[in-house]
A and B are shown apart, each in its own frame.
Chain A
């Protein structure tokens, strides 16, 4: 059997911003998938708020993702057949939020795309698409946000804008953020850095309050 992660022991506090760094194949994405309940560990435990998530059924996992988890991906992952506003609205509809449309409009405004809500992803630039993705991730006010190279497909100036937005939204909601990247500049904004290599935690370092600017 192939071992992708081994002896990984990681605890993330509520409200904390943790960046996971490592070269390709170090197991960053697998760790993120395990934390999101998208994958199940062959051994060991993943606990969220003290609940063992690998023991949850598909339906319970779905409910968990609906309410507690938000995702941001490198390739944005917007639904192409939905407008920007509908993409943001979708998780709210799934969670049955009564005030969904209002919240979607607020979020559109917050990411600076009030005028673009009726556009489809194909009609938006990469940076705009990722801003919509951010708004979608924050829509149900998740307690944990998981981000996979959120600026990986963007030029540095646009990446900077998206990142600033991500930090602002996170602060407002006081959510926990776990971010996978191999960009040291991006990682420098985190409270804590976790370096992975060959499936093991190589080292951890606390950046202290430096992340909160």
Chain B
């Protein structure tokens, strides 16, 4: 047959399927919109980061570490022709308002940036007044974020105190080019000059300062030159290279982009879930559509159409509708992306992305059409089996599919799910896990649906009321096909509940998990001679459960004789983790007693009098590649100190007490330069007051309020969670729509049932009750299984992923089940409304 004939036939087949077409298209469009807008958001952000890489770095090349750059490199950089250089130091510190009357001024944790040289080389640092930073800053002035002044209650400007010294506020920051924080910020920004930092007495703070050198290549230099310079810098650093971040604008924020990619993988699978649930709706629509077309197919067969031509016709039709649905979804995703900057306002500031993302749209459309084909194909294949004899005898039904055909379509669906999951996640392992988990869940849901139908079919019916009997019978009758609905609704319930539980558990942990007397604040950078005073101040202010640990800053030099520069992981991710663990400024605490929230899991605590001993946290030891008996050599401010690992510990981090990956036996580090870290439980409601007092008496001591930090983390998580919940809620809506679609598809049969029941004397209320029983039962089964699945998923994430405690609360589960029942009942009954309101004679006469 000719293509033109197929096209004509497809156009003719489209007549009079308006409602069904809308449903088909809607099922697909929402999933495609989810997939395409996520992909678009991620690639749009990626493109923006690439396009603005120079501004985000504020330079062509940057070198950074928790230590100044070595003198050799400094000389090398100074010798580069026509290359400009700026040093930037960032640190966290406490700033306070000047004393107001008897009471001292308020204090606040800030992120300070100290710039010597031109800054930034690229992008705009917008200040008010609109003058260069260098002009606004001298040894006695500071430029600060407007937020800081507001929070300190000195909105008009004036003077602030840093490190006990007064600084005049000479301007405010409007925007910074290289500040990317995705909603999480320790505190507002403060700019200081290098002399200012000296004057504040913070320049010697050592480890808590992050040093960064920005470089600008001569005009006309491009990516190649930037990459070359970065390579030469790494060469200069030699074995030290592992301890420094050498970035060039051509790499465009690899860490940030990797994080985005990881988020994209996870969310991509959630979006795929909504597309697959839409697929269930498509399977049902296709089925009811083809059921309605059976007579027509028989006539076509009688007129000489071959079985495979029938399949080709309807497959073509489905693909066409799939394309329409995908295009609608793609258009919706573009609209969503156009609105993204406003939607993301709380998560990332000033996001500029191009709403037209051709690759993301292509991905959405290809996945959409694939899902449409995958889910409708087995149904369409059934059209092959419509016997032409139906033209003479209406009662002739299609032959059932063979076992092989059914297994093949299940296999095809599995393979398709795996393929789409791979496209979304880019990882074979993730895709396989996703597919298997989904298959298991669908199997459980299907089994439960079947068991319920069986149980209902066999339940004694003598004593039940007539509407209960009919409702149950409706579910148990052959071909009721509640399965698709149960699967979709169950999955939706699972996603929404799991997301809610994770968030709620996280919140609860933050609020309730802290033991009553757990520390509520950390005090960092206490100088040894300040400790007695700090302790006295805290005790006077009513702090309890005070603990402090002396701590020495050191760098790891080698593990078992192997220099850290030679130890690297195999995979990039492992390398990143290892790099962090090996090159961080190590905090070595020395302690005589094992803290009560630590547990020895291997070896023994200070057991060998002949050795300098170290105890390492178990997971950290794993990353370092150290075991019992390993020899660790540290560089303690220029002096090499060696020690042997004699025990591995597990730490209960949730105690919020000061704890350390590395603890050293007393007697090894006492003479090294050191600071103290302390933790205390502050009287509730007095944290700010005590911070203010501390900043007056000991302005160099950094106060970190635990609750405030945790709330900041929770705030970011909540915003991310909102997005995931939105995607999950779509699954529930899709489940409801699928149920309504299935009910609507069976409207003719349903109408006859209602008419018969009414003719036999059942009232409308009675009929609604029949429906209520049937649909509520469907919702109950889906809700129960979805709730259990969601509970297990959330429990796994909370206890294993986040290592928090889990407390089972029944209310969310009950609400999930009731909600699922409500959604099922409402959508089912609404879809039956027409059958309910028609007079019996209208329905019965037609037949």
Q: Inside 8 A of A114's CB, which chain B residues have their CB?
A: none
Given A65-B304, A66-B304, 17 additional A-B pairs, CB 8 A = A33-B392, A59-B306, A65-B301, A65-B302, A71-B303, A73-B391, A77-B302, A79-B300, A81-B15, A81-B16, A93-B1, A93-B5, A94-B5, A96-B1, A96-B2, A136-B303, A148-B392
Q: Is the interface of A mostly helix, strand, loop or mixed?
A: helix
Instruction: Report which of A38, A39, A82, A94 forms a contact with B304, defined as CB distance below 8 A.
Output: A94
Instruction: Report which of B16, B301, B308, B392 forms a contact with A80, defined as CB distance below 8 A.
Output: B16
User: How far, in angstroms, from A82 to B481 measured CA to CA in the complex?
Assistant: 31
- Across chains A and B, the number of contacting residue pairs, with CB separation under 8 Å, is 75
Is B302's CB under 8 angstroms from A38's CB?
A: yes
Is A80's CB under 8 angstroms from B388's CB?
A: no
Q: Give the residue name and chain of the A residue nearest to B306 (CB).
A: A62
Q: How far is the CB of A184 from chain B (nearest CB, A)?
A: 22
User: How far, in angstroms, from A86 to B300 measured CA to CA in the complex?
Assistant: 13
Is B392's CB under 8 angstroms from A79's CB?
A: no
Is A93's CB under 8 angstroms from B299's CB?
A: no
- CB 8 Å contact bits of A78-103 with B (1 = contact, 0 = none): 11111000100011011110000000
- CB 8 Å contact bits of B295-334 with A (1 = contact, 0 = none): 1100111111111110000000000000000000000000
Interface residues on A, range: 20 to 34
**A48 contacts partner chain B, Cβ-Cβ < 8 Å:** no
**A153 contacts partner chain B, Cβ-Cβ < 8 Å:** no
Is A58's CB under 8 angstroms from B302's CB?
A: no
**B790 contacts partner chain A, Cβ-Cβ < 8 Å:** no
Say yes or no: A33-B389 contact (C-beta < 8 A), given A81-B13, A93-B8. Answer: yes
Is A82's CB under 8 angstroms from B387's CB?
A: no
Is A82's CB under 8 angstroms from B307's CB?
A: no
**A29 contacts partner chain B, Cβ-Cβ < 8 Å:** yes
27 A-B contacts, Cβ less than 8 Å apart? A33-B389, A38-B302, A38-B389, A58-B307, A59-B308, A62-B301, A62-B306, A63-B306, A65-B301, A65-B302, A65-B304, A65-B388, A66-B303, A71-B303, A79-B299, A80-B296, A81-B12, A81-B16, A81-B296, A82-B12, A86-B12, A90-B303, A91-B303, A93-B1, A94-B1, A94-B5, A148-B392
Q: Give the residue name and chain of the A residue nearest to B390 (CB).
A: A38
Ranked 3 nearest A-B pairs via Cβ: A66-B304, A65-B304, A81-B15
User: How far, in angstroms, from A213 to B301 measured CA to CA in the complex?
Assistant: 34
Q: Give the residue name and chain of the A residue nearest to B17 (CB).
A: A81
**B393 contacts partner chain A, Cβ-Cβ < 8 Å:** yes
Q: Give the residue name and chain of the A residue nearest to B295 (CB).
A: A77
**A32 contacts partner chain B, Cβ-Cβ < 8 Å:** yes
Q: How far is the CB of A2 from chain B (nearest CB, A)?
A: 14
Q: Inside 8 A of A90's CB, which chain B residues have their CB?
A: 300, 303
- CB 8 Å contact bits of A39-69 with B (1 = contact, 0 = none): 1000000000000000000110011111100
Q: Inside 8 A of A95's CB, which chain B residues have their CB?
A: 304
Q: Inside 8 A of B295's CB, which chain A residues have their CB?
A: 77
Is B388's CB under 8 angstroms from A94's CB?
A: no
Q: Give the residue name and chain of the B residue nearest to A71 (CB).
A: B302
Name the interface residues of B280-298: CB closer than 8 Å to any CB of A. Answer: 295-296
Q: Inside 8 A of B16's CB, which chain A residues have their CB?
A: 80-81
Is B303's CB under 8 angstroms from A32's CB?
A: no
Q: Inside 8 A of B303's CB, which chain A residues have their CB?
A: 65-66, 71, 90-91, 94, 136
Interface centre among A62, A81, A82, by most chain B C-beta atoms within 10 angstroms, is A62
Q: How far is the CB of A114 from chain B (nearest CB, A)?
A: 21
Say yes or no: A38-B388 contact (C-beta < 8 A), given A58-B306, A91-B303. Answer: yes
Name the interface residues of A5-37: CB closer than 8 Å to any CB of B. Answer: 29, 32-33, 36
Is A39's CB under 8 angstroms from B306's CB?
A: no
Q: How far is the CB of A113 from chain B (nearest CB, A)?
A: 19
User: How far, in angstroms, from A58 to B384 measured CA to CA in the complex?
Assistant: 10
User: How far, in angstroms, from A193 to B255 measured CA to CA in the complex?
Assistant: 90
User: How far, in angstroms, from A41 to B765 measured CA to CA in the complex?
Assistant: 52
Instruction: Report which of B15, B305, B393 forms a contact with A29, defined as CB distance below 8 A.
Output: B393
Q: How far is the CB of A207 from chain B (nearest CB, A)?
A: 26
Is B387's CB under 8 angstroms from A38's CB?
A: yes
Name the interface residues of B84-121: CB closer than 8 Å to any CB of A. Answer: none
